[in-house]
Amino acid sequence: MRPSVERNDYECPKGTKIAFFQELFTAGRVPELRRAIGDSFSDYFRARAYHERPAAPLVSEQDKSVLFTGATISAIKDILVGQTYPEGSNGVFVVQECLRTNADKYLFKDDWIPYGQMYFNMVSILSRPGRRIEVIAEAVDHICRDLGVEPGRVKLRSTTELGEIPNEDIGGVQIEYDTRALDYYHWKYGIRDVIGTGMTVCIFNPTTEKWFEVGNIVTIFDQDGNELGTEFGYGYEFLLAAALGVDQPQKFSRIYELHDFKVGMDQKYLTTLEATVMMRSAGARLLPRSGGVHTVYRKHLRGISHMAKLTSRDTDAVIEDMEELLIHIGRGDIRLNDENDYLKKHEGYRAGFACIVKGVRRQLIAERVGKKPKETIKNPAQMLARYLVSRGIDPAEVSAELESLVPFGIVLPHEERKDA
């Protein structure tokens, strides 16, 4: 465990920001580093006539197309649709915390380890229509001159659908056209008949010797081809990892201010726990018979419980890790009594399933040798499958028990599991 890092004031000289960021990271001052990258973006675009836009809540309120805010578009969608850019501005910018929940389908897939964060931070601008080339120039200038990333380490992966970009507008950075499938250059925004076309911003990471995709520059159109604006943005963690030559973007996460980074299932456990704590902090609850946000929260809790088992942690350790992070982010007022009860109850369900499987095995072994068992289950596969579904147990949580039934020809049918 690592101690909390005090957030001290800092001064970041212009043009040497990447070197300054490296000093902060090396000194373990990651909270200040995250604040510095957000402030650098804000200062740069505020000076270029962009107005600040308040961030959207992590539990989405204004954007009904998503449960959690997963991108900066949620905070600026009304401006995009209504074309209500602030008078006298070039557009708006936003600093946004985000939660990526599409990884929930991998919570119980033990061979899947996340590379990036589930909870992360983004910055973005939305420029008024007609400024696509100017936005590209601003993006390159911000990354190369303002932050100090060498132009030779920056690449734009673009499409020629909107025409090629004049070399003088991209500050000497590399650009490649149409090297990917067409859908690589298209974006959707959860808005009917609105689509974006653009490019991905990449930075070469000298440690991994790979190009990291850190952000995008996208021009957005309505169904009639009318331009609605151009967006540029990036995630803190991937940009910092690439720019500073750090192998894992997750090393810039809040959870790793408290824990050492270990590749593998421990990495998945802590990354998922961080996202789950942020859900709880944002308002997710263990409410009975509730769906939406609360269903996602329950599923993540069960996923953490599964990962904890694989990393030799019990429920008490899970709750302790969650409480420690809540205190670290200033939410020590949140109590996790319900979560503790819920996870222990789920542990009991798993133990109950193991007992049932033992009974089924005894029955099947007796039947094989011609003995009549004391109790008979007519359709063991159906009964076991229903038990899993009704109690919200993923088969991965009881894989050993299920594998013990395979020699008897019992393979459970796939059913959509209910939330428990």
Residue of higher predicted confidence among 163 and 171: 163
pLDDT per residue as tens digits for the range 101-120: 788 899 999 999 998 899 99
For the residues 285-303, what does the mean pLDDT come to? 88
Q: Kindly state the helix (H) or strand (E) to which residue 97 belongs, with its residue range.
A: strand 91-99
- A 10 A CB-CB count for 185 gives 22
- What pLDDT score does 100 carry? 87
Contact between 91 and 126 under an 8 Å Cβ cutoff? The reply is yes
- What pLDDT score does 372 carry? 75
> At residue 158, does pLDDT exceed 50?
yes
Confidence of residue 413 (pLDDT cuts 50, 70, 90): low
> At residue 396, does pLDDT exceed 60?
yes
pTM for the whole thing? Answer: 0.89
β-sheet bridge partners, residue 99: 119
| Residue type, position 195, single letter | I
> At residue 416, does pLDDT exceed 50?
no
Confidence of residue 10 (pLDDT cuts 50, 70, 90): very low
Q: Token pair of 307, please?
A: 């990962």
Q: Kindly state the helix (H) or strand (E) to which residue 91 belongs, with its residue range.
A: strand 91-99
Q: How far apart are CA 301 and CA 318, in angstroms?
A: 9
- What pLDDT score does 3 carry? 34
For the residues 338-354, what does the mean pLDDT come to? 96
- A 10 A CB-CB count for 361 gives 17
Residues 144-150: contacts with CB within 8 Å, 24+ apart? 144/171, 144/172, 144/173, 145/15, 145/171, 146/14, 146/15, 146/17, 146/40, 146/44, 147/17, 147/18, 147/40, 147/243, 148/15, 148/16, 148/17, 148/18, 148/19, 149/18, 149/203, 149/243
| Low-confidence winner among 167-176, 220-229, 293-302, 311-320 (lowest mean pLDDT) | 167-176
> At residue 7, does pLDDT exceed 60?
no
pLDDT per residue as tens digits for the range 212-270: 999 999 999 999 999 999 999 999 999 999 999 999 999 999 999 999 999 999 999 99
Residue of higher predicted confidence among 14 and 408: 408
> At residue 415, does pLDDT exceed 50?
no
pLDDT, the chain, mean: 90
